[in-house]
Amino acid sequence: MSKKGVILLNLGSPDSTEVSDVRSYLREFLMDGRVLDAPFAIRWFLVNCLILPTRPRESAEAYKEIWEEEGSPLIVTSRKQKIALAAKLDIPVALGMRYGNPSTPDALKELLNQGVDDLFIIPMYPHYAMSSYETAVVALMNAVREQKPELKTTLLPPFYQDPDYIDALVERARPYIESGDFDKLVFSFHGIPQRHLVKGDPSHNHCLTAHDCCNTTHPAHATCYRHQCVMTVEKFVVATGLPKDKYILTFQSRLGREPWLQPYTDKTLTQLAKDGHKRVKVMCPAFTADCLETLEEIAMQGRDSFLESGGKEFEQIPCLNETPAFINLLTSKVEAWRSGAYESARATPPAYVERKE
């Protein structure tokens, strides 16, 4: 009889706020060809000659602003999620980070040492993107090939419009929005370069070819991050009855000068304040655990720029973290897998091809 196990996958964090640890983390992160998808030689030059000489010190200061006594908020919360999920199951649960520690190979080894030979993979990303969901899955599958090629694996698909996910978001946001005492609710998703959408479009002729491409039915939506973000907002708005003039979808965390998904969160917050929208709330549905991008970039930098531009009230709605609704969602997915609901997804989906340098 097989022994089942679950692995949770997330992005990762530096081991500490020391510049050396931040530099090691950023090097691993930015040298990933699914994050900076330039040819290796160009990527190496960009990372080692233009980014790493200055960025680690700046990022270290940002991490110091949010660092907890137990460590990185992302790691601390992810461990709480793992513990909460394990408490509801009778099978092993491990946590692996794409970059840094606890590493994905170590998490896999932990499960294999417990005799697991049937693995359910849960990327903690509701939306598909080459630089998040895909790279985490590919890294795990590489570790599987190295440690136990015959391991049976089943992958949870992106759950961006799953009713339980939408309900969890609504429940999380309700205390902050039910009174209606705000001018705009900003849905801020992590950004990606526009070229990533085009690169991930299997038809190569749909994404970004028309203003309504995300609302036109197409096979590309299975791997279209922007479409999936739009669908999350649409489902949330329907569930809450939020008027169209009370919300806006934006994208944050851009890097470099090339076009990323727009509108940009930072510029939007500044413009909202200038346009007289004095009370703003921001939620970040692409993140299932609060991290540098939500706690420092939004709750600190975003707040400061909004208030400095004339805004009066700013509030970041926390991520799902280890809320009961989110843990129940994860539990239901595990139970569905155990009942055979995801059997057809055992093999690595075609979208996750090895990308060439």
Residues 308 and 336 in one domain: no
pLDDT at 143 over 50: yes
Residues 255 and 304 in one domain: yes
Residues 71 and 189 in one domain: no
247 falls within a domain: yes
Res 212: pLDDT? 79
Residues 193 and 306 in one domain: yes
Helix and strand numbers (H, E) in the chain are 13, 8
Digit-coded pLDDT (tens) for 182-201? 999 999 999 999 888 878 77
- Of residues 341 and 271, which shows the higher confidence score? 271
Domain range spanning residue 296? 163-317
Rg (alpha carbons) of the chain, rounded to whole number: 20
Res 205: pLDDT? 74
308 falls within a domain: yes
Residues 229 and 278 in one domain: yes
Give the integer Cα–Cα distance in Å for 322 and 114: 25
Residues 136 and 214 in one domain: no
CATH of the domain at 184: 3.40.50.1400
Residues 169 and 121 in one domain: no
Residues 174 and 224 in one domain: yes
45 falls within a domain: no
- The phi and psi torsions of 10 (rounded to 5 degrees) equal -140, -175
Residues 125 and 214 in one domain: no
Give the integer Cα–Cα distance in Å for 63 and 270: 24
- Reported pTM: 0.93
148 falls within a domain: yes
55 falls within a domain: no
- The phi and psi torsions of 247 (rounded to 5 degrees) equal -145, 165
Strands (E), the chain: 4-13, 93-100, 118-123, 152-155, 184-190, 247-252, 279-283, 313-317
